Amino acid sequence: MTRQEFLHELKIALQGELSQSAVDDNLKYYSDYILGESRKGVSEEEVIISLGSPRLIAKTLVDTNGQYGAYAGGYYSAEDAGQAFQEETGERRKSHSGHSGRDGWGIQVGRFKLNSWYGKLLLLGLLGAALIVVVNVVAFLLPVLAPVILVLLVCSMIFGNRR
């Protein structure tokens, strides 16, 4: 694949997903990156192979758009957005939440996205486990508390409300 083919596929994948200025910025970045690596003696084809699929890059750019604040207009490379944030600011984020117009609220802990299918499955599992614990505690306490409550109820019926 040539540089022009790579940039064309990237542009097609980004159009309509990001603002035109973000599309243009990313196209310029990747064009400059490929040219820069070519000047260092690496063939264009090797550079493009090392970058990976332009559609995957576009998907990553679209997915990270709006989730990392100032980084939202940044560029995807071999590092993920968390590593880029760390390099940019010098601090490491362990969790993140944010809102994008397309996906709504998103919560991320490390690389784990809670609004993905596996995050929802984990939350359902945790909810199920909590429900099982509550049911078992009630089932354990019911034989002890039921007679006490019954005695108190009978006493209040027999002796009534004395004022």
In a domain, 17, yes or no: yes
Tell me if 41 is assigned to some domain.
yes
| φ and ψ of 49, to 5 deg | -65, -40
pLDDT at 99 (0 to 100):
46
Whether residue 56 lies inside any domain: the answer is yes
Question: What would you measure as the largest C-alpha separation in the chain, in angstroms?
Answer: 99
Query: What pLDDT shows up at residue 120?
Result: 81
C-alpha span between 5 and 48 (Å, rounded):
10
Q: Provide the residue range defining the domain that includes 64.
A: 3-115
Q: Is residue 120 part of a domain?
A: no
Q: What is the pTM of this model?
A: 0.42
52-94 pLDDT per residue, tens = 889 989 888 888 875 443 334 444 443 444 454 455 455 554 5
Give the pLDDT score at 127.
Answer: 94
How many domains does the chain contain in total? 1
Residue 139 lies in a domain: no
Residue 82 lies inside a defined structural domain of this protein: yes
Mean pLDDT in order along the chain per 10 residues (163 residues): 91 88 91 92 90 89 63 43 50 50 57 71 91 94 90 88 64
Predicted confidence at residue 80, as pLDDT, reads: 45
